[in-house]
Chain A
Amino acid sequence: MKGIPVRIVTQEEMEYLLRKKCGKSENIFSYAVIGCKKTGKVVAKFKINNKTGEKILIYKDKKDKLIQKLEQERKL
């Protein structure tokens, strides 16, 4: 039974202590993909900011024709 004895403290006391060390909330993302019907492969993957809709490319298949076209058009 060796251990650290607990001390019951209030939420308010801990909130003050931890808030000082805790940053603001993060932006949370959901995901989307582009896939090729012929090969069945995902050719691009995006994170999408749930609040702003901002799309962040996190994967692209550089050999894929659509990806090459979108890159040329500066859409990726």
Chain B
Amino acid sequence: MSNHMYHRVAKGIHQDGGNNNIMTWWKTNFNMPVPEIWNGNWVPDRGPFTYNGQATSFDLSGLVAGFELVVFCAGFHWEGPLSGTAYVYSEWRDENNNLLFTCADGIPIDLDIDSGYWYEYMRACNIGIAGWEVDTSGNYKVRSWSTGTGAMETMETTITFSNVPSTSQMSTSKRGYIWVEGNNLHFINNNRWEHSITGEDQGYVDTAKAGYIWIDTDNYLHWIGNDGHDYKGKWRIKQFASTFSNGPTGEVFAGTSKKGYIWVDNEFGGTHLSYIGNDGYKYLFGSGNYPYQYP
């Protein structure tokens, strides 16, 4: 086997072995924090993950702007004997072959491999529905290459997205609006898209209380729907530091005196709600799916 690369594009991944942590991007809010997923059983030409929903064509019917789609994992494989420094690159390109964004931009990799050994490196990055990412149906591309020691020519894989929804944004004056519509909780997120959250029906309370919003002692958000039922948020994430991209660090303890505070957040990609829970910590919540389950 000679030096080569491999591409995997999937809705989600989970660590193979180790802690078996799951991370799903498909239909989740932008940039939800990623748990530790790398330190699993590494297999050549696959890396440390099991890929969930791996494909090269994705139908976006039913999704809306502000949802993540897939992750692109670029693997680089070198065979010994080899010594020196390689520089790795990977990127996403749109349907017109314009650069969308760079994932790896010449990351230096020191190689010191004897005969009978191989060396692998992997870089991963996700993409979602937005005017600056996927905004038109068509054939997108993921690309990777390396320079320096053990240089490898560009590898390109076509990724097709169909039924891409509109990514048009509302005016800035609407940002932060939140209301109950029908039995769903609606809000205008930081990126100015209206999102609708369906809750779990907890039973009838009182139609006169329609529109009430509160947080329970387990840190879940509730609201009273138009039918007078209590609806509970399906998930919430106590904020933690992502292991995937630079962002806020760690848990954020605002203090129990601030419990009940709720706002449209501009962190982690800005498509979710944040609130201070009963325990005084910051929680993330949104209309997307819970990211730590299979897609």
Q: Which residues of A line the B interface, CB within 8 A? A: 1-11, 13-15, 17-18, 21-38, 42-43, 45, 47-48, 50, 53, 55, 58, 65-66, 69-70, 75
Given contacts A1-B230, A21-B253, A23-B249, contact A34 B263 (CB under 8 A): no
Q: Are A10 and B262 in contact (CB under 8 A)?
A: no
Q: Is B121 part of the binding interface, using a Cβ–Cβ cutoff of 8 Å?
A: yes
Q: Is B97 part of the binding interface, using a Cβ–Cβ cutoff of 8 Å?
A: no
21 A-B residue pairings within 8 Å (CB atoms): A3-B214, A3-B216, A4-B214, A6-B260, A10-B263, A11-B176, A11-B265, A13-B263, A24-B249, A26-B249, A28-B242, A29-B243, A30-B104, A30-B122, A31-B39, A34-B117, A34-B118, A35-B120, A53-B108, A65-B114, A66-B114
Q: Is B237 part of the binding interface, using a Cβ–Cβ cutoff of 8 Å?
A: no
Q: Which residues of B line the A interface, CB within 8 A? A: 38-39, 42, 44, 48, 104, 107-110, 112-114, 116-124, 176, 178, 190, 205, 209, 212-217, 221-222, 224, 230, 241-250, 252-254, 258-266, 274-275, 278, 282
A28 to chain B, nearest CB (A): 6
Q: Are A1 and B224 in contact (CB under 8 A)?
A: yes
Given contacts A4-B214, A11-B190, contact A35 B263 (CB under 8 A): no
Q: Are A11 and B214 in contact (CB under 8 A)?
A: no
Given contacts A1-B214, A3-B217, contact A9 B261 (CB under 8 A): yes
Note all chain A residues with C-beta closer than 8 A to B217: 3
Task: Write the chain A residue with the least CB distance to B245.
Answer: A28
B198 to chain A, nearest CB (A): 19
Q: Are A31 and B214 in contact (CB under 8 A)?
A: no
B71 to chain A, nearest CB (A): 13
Q: Are B109 and A33 in contact (CB under 8 A)?
A: no
Q: Are A25 and B122 in contact (CB under 8 A)?
A: no
Q: Are B249 and A18 in contact (CB under 8 A)?
A: no
Q: How far is the CA of A74 from the CA of B105 in the complex (A)?
A: 28
Q: Are B112 and A70 in contact (CB under 8 A)?
A: yes
Given contacts A18-B252, A28-B245, contact A42 B112 (CB under 8 A): no
A24 to chain B, nearest CB (A): 7
Q: Are B42 and A35 in contact (CB under 8 A)?
A: yes
